[in-house]
């Protein structure tokens, strides 16, 4: 049994806490809201996310970061990308230097173009103690014990293996990888492609269109990954194709669902206020496109999503810009 601190009480933080506790670990959740922490301790339910899921008895919650991190043998970060640096900074003086850190957050920081492992490493010191977990893992299904799988990536094989042992069970398969960059690129950029798929669904397009967006989207992901030094095969794995399929096709996907809602006139702020969920793809549409431009990588689908979200482009014009492109070799 390990003492694990989980930072963040969103859907994924809640599901991950339950998963870890079901593996006989003692889990302490850090919550921003006193009301959420109190409700979890009183009823073992999160009043804002996965409200019907009863957390195992091995989970407790607190708003006191020092208390949550005290004696922790592992830390799992599950906060939105725009809060990650600040949260990691607040942890730095409270965290022992030998405690491994796993990041569930997917994204690319605007302007710096830092991936989440870079952000955390800069704040807590040492990238080799850091790992990321990524894959086709809808929290709604993980907490029900439905068969799922993920990959843990770290520059340090021992750290990846540590978190593999911590999470794996008969319904949650965990694989390991040393391609930290490739896994992070896949996890961040697929959310942008999922918004494009949601827009297509909202407009009434069919399966052929979704398949085109996913496969051409995967090509964009692969080009960025290669330019960043990632391994091409990673895009074919759980963090790449696996997560892309789940995120682009499932009604559980907040990014796909936002794309559908956007067609009906709902913007990011309204969607997040209504659902209490963060649309990471909307943030990544900015930062990932910035990164692509800095690497001189062409990403037309991402550019189209950015255009409709931030440049005021009509959806019809964005579609026309994609379809008006001159066909070329499939892979370039």
pLDDT digits 0-9 by tens, 58-105: 999 999 999 999 999 999 999 999 999 999 999 999 999 899 999 999
Active site residues: 190
H or E element: which one contains 172?
strand 172-177
Confidence of residue 224 (pLDDT cuts 50, 70, 90): very high
Q: Are residues 308 and 296 in the same domain?
A: yes
Q: Are residues 297 and 213 in the same domain?
A: yes
Q: Across residues 19-25, what is the average pLDDT?
A: 96
Report the distance separating Cα 272 and Cα 107, nearest Å. Answer: 17
Q: Tell me the CATH number at 84.
A: 3.40.50.720
Structurally, the chain folds into a number of domains equal to 2
pTM: 0.94
Of 129, 154, 178, the residue at which a domain comes to its end is 178
Confidence of residue 107 (pLDDT cuts 50, 70, 90): very high
The answer on pLDDT for 332 being more than 80 is no
Quote the crossing angle between the two packed helices 280-295 and 300-310, to the nearest 10°: 130
Please choose, from the candidates 233, 226, 230, the residue with its C-alpha nearest in 3D space to the C-alpha of residue 299. 226
Report the distance separating Cα 217 and Cα 233, nearest Å. Answer: 16
Facing residues of 151 across strands? 134, 175
Q: Are residues 282 and 236 in the same domain?
A: yes
Structural tokens at position 51? 């409200």
Confidence of residue 277 (pLDDT cuts 50, 70, 90): confident
Is residue 166 within 8 A of residue 4, CB to CB? The reply is yes
| Domain enclosing residue 202, as ranges | 181-323
Please choose, from the candidates 9, 315, 24, the residue with its C-alpha nearest in 3D space to the C-alpha of residue 167. 24
In a domain, 157, yes or no: yes
The reported pLDDT for the residue numbered 88 is 97
Q: Are residues 186 and 106 in the same domain?
A: no
């Amino acid at each position: 049994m390990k003492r694990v601190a989980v930072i963040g009480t969103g859907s994924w933080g809640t599901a991950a806490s339950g998963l870890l506790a079901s593996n006989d670990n003692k889990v302490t959740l850090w919550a921003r809201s006193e009301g959420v922490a109190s409700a979890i301790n009183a009823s073992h339910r999160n009043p804002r996310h996965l409200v019907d899921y009863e957390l195992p008895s091995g989970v407790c919650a607190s708003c006191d970061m020092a208390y949550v991190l005290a004696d922790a043998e592992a830390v799992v970060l599950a906060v939105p990308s725009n809060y990650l640096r600040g949260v990691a900074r607040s942890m730095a003086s409270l965290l022992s230097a030998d405690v491994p850190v796993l990041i569930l957050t997917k994204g690319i920081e605007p302007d710096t173009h830092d991936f989440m492992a870079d952000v955390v490493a800069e704040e807590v010191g040492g990238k080799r103690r850091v790992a990321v977990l990524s894959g086709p893992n809808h929290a709604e299904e993980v907490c029900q014990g439905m068969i799922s799988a993920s990959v843990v990536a770290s520059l340090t094989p021992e750290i990846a293996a540590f978190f593999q042992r911590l999470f794996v069970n008969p319904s949650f398969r965990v694989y390991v990888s040393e391609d930290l960059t490739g896994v992070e690129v896949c996890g961040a950029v697929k959310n942008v492609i999922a918004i494009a798929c949601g827009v297509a669904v909202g407009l009434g397009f069919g399966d052929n269109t979704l398949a085109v967006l996913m496969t051409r989207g995967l090509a964009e992901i692969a080009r960025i990954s290669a330019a960043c030094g990632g391994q091409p095969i990673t895009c074919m794995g759980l963090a790449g194709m696996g997560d892309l399929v789940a995120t682009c096709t499932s009604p559980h996907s907040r990014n796909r669902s936002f794309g559908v809602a956007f067609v009906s006139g709902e913007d990011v702020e309204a969607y997040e206020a209504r659902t209490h969920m963060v649309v990471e793809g909307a943030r990544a549409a900015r930062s990932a496109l910035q990164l692509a431009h800095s690497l001189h990588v062409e990403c037309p689908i991402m550019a189209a999503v950015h255009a409709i979200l931030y440049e005021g482009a009509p959806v019809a014009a964005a579609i026309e810009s994609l379809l008006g492109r001159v066909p070329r070799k499939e892979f370039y």
